[in-house]
Amino acid sequence: MSKTWFITGASSGFGQGMTKRLLARGDRVIATIRQEGALDDLATQYGDRLHVVYLDVTDTDGIEKCVDRVFAGFGRIDVIVSNAGYGVLGAAEETSIDQIRHAIDTNLIGSMVLIRAALPHLRAQGGGRVVQVSSEGGQIAYPGFSLYHATKWGIEGFVESLAIEVAPFGIEFMLVEPGPARTNFAGGLVLPEPISDYDGTPAHDLKDAAFGGGWVIKGDPARMVDAMITAADQQDMPFRLLLGADAYAGVHAALTKRLGVLEANRAITESADFTDAELAAM
């Protein structure tokens, strides 16, 4: 049975890849874009099975109006894919206040507002699924990507809590965490004005590797898109979907280290509570 999907950030990358795959298999897609004409070829090919909407995800009022319009116009929407976003590559000290605000407005607040706007409609239709495209960077951190990680760790915390709140309404979530992939993500990176004191430090070393060919990217965007769709179709959709062998290795190592620190400090951690005797005397 065909489904109806609502996908943000469909001009390029994973959003465009998902749009193409879903249309090819017979589904209907409502795709939001910021780049004029980005999906004209698909619109010509698939006609009324593709509905293109121009949306800036930093426009919170526009997001809410867009969501209301598409539910009113298309009825049931089976899967919402919150995908729009970009990266900032530079040491935290190098970033400007405007860059900080725009990254948070786009990657974090835009996603939160989109999901929040969809909840009344999903409740009314008896449930639905939300796929939030996060990143391996929602669980680990690279030097030079502090703003990006702040938004991805933030949206993961938001979804973790929200998923529990709305589970009684049949609304399900999946956090997709791709590792580095051969998309145009690097081409869209914002690069703050560098501070020479950071030359030879991890933040600049990583930037040099990213643009100097020293960082081998193994992730295949087409395979990642296929994996996202396959997981979203499953009866038991996973809450988290990590994509890529390097992402698996990195997240596994980070979680193992975090657990080790937790266990090593258990005695100090537990010493912060009232004792049983003290609680009994209260």
Provide the annotated active-site residues.
Answer: 134, 148, 152
Query: Do residues 183 and 11 touch, judged by C-beta distance below 8 A?
Result: no
Instruction: Name every residue whose Cβ is closer than 8 Å to that of residue 64 and which is 6 or more positions away in sequence.
Output: 113, 117
Distances (CA, A) of 56 to 8, 9, 18, 33, 103: 9, 9, 19, 8, 13
Environment class of residue 100 by beta-carbon count within 10 Å: exposed (0-12), middle (13-18) or buried (19+)? middle
Which residue stretches of 104-141 are H helix? 110-124
Alpha-carbon distance 229 to 21, whole Å?
9
SS3 215: coil
Q: Residue 207 phi/psi, 5° resolution?
A: -65, -40
Instruction: List own/partner pairs for 159-166 with CB under 8 A and 24 or more apart.
Output: 159/115, 159/130, 159/132, 162/115, 163/239, 166/119, 166/122, 166/123
Report helix angle 110-124 to 146-166, nearest 10: 20
Residue with tokens 């539910």: 71
Query: Do residues 93 and 195 touch, judged by C-beta distance below 8 A?
Result: yes
